[in-house]
Chains A and B, each alone.
Chain A
Amino acid sequence: MSSFKVFDIAGSGMSAQNLRMNLVASNLANVDAVSSSTAGTYRSRQPVFQTVLDQQNPRGAATGVRMTGVVESPAPLTREHAPHHPMADGEGYIYRPNVSPVEEMANMVSASRSYQNNVEVINAARQMLAALINLGR
């Protein structure tokens, strides 16, 4: 009998989607965090997912997913002329983050659906295992 890796696999998926959801929350929370320089402005953060391959299995079977890193979006920041803003620089400009709330909302729905998919997998696997345990009773 295999070790029933379904739980680990679906768990890795849930964990990855959870981290993605955290990044969405961070992006949305900072959507109005203006700054007085390009370097100090918040940039939209996006997760990088990677397949985890079974090390013992040279045939390339996947055993889950992990987040290998976070990249900051290279999209240009919005420069806005607001001379009376407390954060305005010497020329009277402020910089707004390159977060797109619409994109982030879509991202959030996608992450949430993927998370639910993994939860369903765990539920189904649990029923399979429970039935196996009760075999021959």
Chain B
Amino acid sequence: MKIDEAFGIHEQALRLRAARSEVIAANLANADTPGFKARDVDFAAVLRQELPSPVRLAATQPGHIGNDNGLVAGSQLLYRNPTQPSVDGNTVDAVQEQVAFSQNAMQYQASLRFLEGRIRSLLTAIKGD
């Protein structure tokens, strides 16, 4: 077993959770900005794409399409369907975003817990006691 594989899916999941928390935080920060469209990440789709080959483009110039951790590409940064569109064009539903943020935070903690378990297993194997 390679050490990279020891953590399995949880490393990517953790980074994606962190990226998603930024997206939702931006939604909440722009809750009163006219014309702002709430966005979110299709978690399953991004993770599926990431898993088989995490090969990324190198961003060597400021103008290059960066990999921002390779996870949240523009095509996967989708727009939320508004439940109650407002007159100023803003589609942020603060309650919905709060729920999404806390859900994401819990799942982040869950990923950490899984990683913790893997690390403990590895430590047990290394120490042998």
CB-contacts of B14-41 with A (<8 A): 14-15, 18-19, 21-34, 36, 39
CB-contacts of B46-90 with A (<8 A): 62, 65-66, 68-69, 72-74, 77
Query: Which residue of B24, B25, B39, B112 contacts A132 across the interface (Cβ within 8 Å)?
Result: B112
Considering the chains assembled together, what is the distance between the CA atoms of A72 and B23 in angstroms? 32
* Number of residues from A at the complex interface, CB < 8 A: 41
Q: Are B19 and A13 in touch, CB under 8 angstroms?
A: no
| Residues of chain B at the chain A interface (Cβ within 8 Å) | 14-15, 18-19, 21-34, 36, 39, 62, 65-66, 68-69, 72-74, 77, 94, 97-98, 101-102, 105, 108-109, 112, 115-116, 119
Q: Are B65 and A58 in touch, CB under 8 angstroms?
A: yes
| Residues of chain A at the chain B interface (Cβ within 8 Å) | 1-2, 4-6, 9-10, 12-13, 16-17, 20, 49-51, 56-65, 110-111, 113-114, 117-118, 120-121, 124-125, 127-128, 131-132, 135-136
Chain A neighbourhood of B116, CB < 8 A: 135-136
Chain B neighbourhood of A20, CB < 8 A: 32
